[in-house]
Structure 1
Amino acid sequence: MLITLAILAVYVFIAVYGIAFTKDTSHFFSKDYTTVLKGLCCIIVIFVHIPNIYGNAIQNAAGSFGYICVTLFFMFSAYGLTWSVKHKEGYLNNFFRKRVLAVLTPYIIICLLKAICGFKVFRDGTNFVFVIFMFYIIFYLSHKYINKKYRDILICAFVIFYSLAGQIANDFFGYENIILKWQTESLGFMYGIIFANIIEPFKEKVKKQYVVKIGILSAVSGILGVTYLKYKYILFAGDYILRIILGISLILLLFTITIHFRIGNIFTKYLGKISYEVFLLHGFVMSVYNVLKLQVSSGVYILMVILGTLVIAAVLNKIDTIIIQRIANPTKLFSLRQSKVSKIDT
């Protein structure tokens, strides 16, 4: 467990390195802010998926926040979409070409990698990709064809329906598959839409009695956390309702603390840049290690999974970027090539 503790110590150091208190809240929910948090979240997601044989108490404690991290992935995605529609004219015109490419390109490459290695293709990140892609379609159709007054309400209603349907099917009928996953986490998509509409009032509210609000939310989160540990085995009321309330409390606590702290550094920003690849790849890396039948301690295994995932994710991100740019902007790339050819000729 000492190695796992050391990993967490490095993680915490990287998370707080360069952090600075500021009265200015313009950084809150900026692109850098959400990128940094996604980078930090992707490491926690790795912790939660470590096989039991290599698990330990520290890894389990860190991994217990995994569902909050996935909720934030959904939330930041929906926030970005909603903000872009409001502030970027004609954003929906290239919606599928840009957003779908960004989601599917890394996923398809990883699926091919799994197939080549003889692993099951539709595992690990498939659930997330399916759900986020479904939400993207609903988002697009709502903003394209539904009255502005009702579109956000319709999207949020669909997210709630999806979440409830999945939880009821799982709790009371024992039915769960790729279509009905991320029951509590998927609600983050709704949170993102709501937050995009209340971001400025939220800032103003939090700035008043800032320390008091942190204290209250910390106490509430602690009480809810202990309650959840005791009652999480109760169907629906515990494993769904209480889990949602705890998640909201922890997310509000995180946002309240960071509203006056400018977070991020070169490490966390890069982690955020490759966070989606990390999310999709860590299961594949563990599958490779399982085939190799490694005889290592828990801490060494966790370290190997993190390092292996980060290295492959960095390479894959480079490939993704090239492919997405070529497909999304073929005219621009063609013009650049023609320009280079002209310069050589002259």
Structure 2
Amino acid sequence: MPPLDELRHPQGVTSTKIFRRSILGAALAAPAIVSAQSGLPDRTLRIVIGFAAGGGSDAMARLIATGLERRVGRRVTVENRPGGTGAAAGEALKYGGADGTMVAFMPSPSLVARLFTPSYPFDPMTDLAPITTAGTYIDAFAVSPKIEARTVAEYVAWLKGGEAGRNKIGATATDAMLQYYTRALGREFGVPMEGQAFRGTAPLVNDMEAGRVPAGVAGLTSFLVAHRGNRVRILATSGSKRVSVAPDLPTAAEAGYPGLTMEEWYGFFAAASMPPALVDLWNGALVATLQDKEVREQLAQLGLEVETSTPAVCADRLAAHMKKWQATLQALGMKPTL
């Protein structure tokens, strides 16, 4: 369930190249869209993300920021506040987002992490004001090229071969999320799994390529370049349907494991103290930016299927997502903190 990052994108260079090409193309192909009547504060606007520069969340946020800047006629910056779960973005809103110039671009795992951590620095249900959903993304399950398995069924057969260490699986996730992955995969595969956490997909890919870690889970686009370069082999994705950027990859359900179907999403959030009228103005500007054809296409290449909403629909989705994850954790014998 890592957000395209590890919540961090592994292939930072590739994402950055895509981002740079997209910005250059937008600058050359489209006229500037300036709206002095946007109603947003007449100061620099900030998009805060809880991950480092060069990752997937960063590339997407900068792409959106450039489109938003052209649309509203304000300077828009991206502020990186990296941390293990991306929580720093929500914490920034809790303590400093009252002036209306700052919003956060956050993946749903950064919100759900509140269920795993009693001391989480913010409560997504009370400290944030949802603005709009931004889009959905999926995870990928991949194996080392040192393993002959080319389907999930072949991997499970290999897994049950009896050799010690075959049940190790890597993930770019917090310890709590890693516990979820090992339990969920162990339940589906019928073998207890042993998790190993990585601080980014690059070291995970390196260990998988070398055969030190036989399998791993990460955001689809985090593995995609490595898959195409034969450094890892993606066996299935967690989506409910195949994706346009990799139509040859089967879903977990198609592979015979519907219990591994899972889609996560990104959203834009403001401080809970932001006036509803200003939230609506941010919604209008962000939705228009996200629905721009060039922005949609570039985000799709980064693994995000754009999906926008009203603030109310985003709030409902957040509440439903938290409730769903509470039930999921309880079903796996894990006690949520809410």
Q: Give the structure-1-normalised TM-score.
A: 0.25
More strand by share: 2
Q: Give the structure-2-normalised TM-score.
A: 0.25
Q: Which has the higher contact order (CA 8 A, sep 6+)?
A: 1
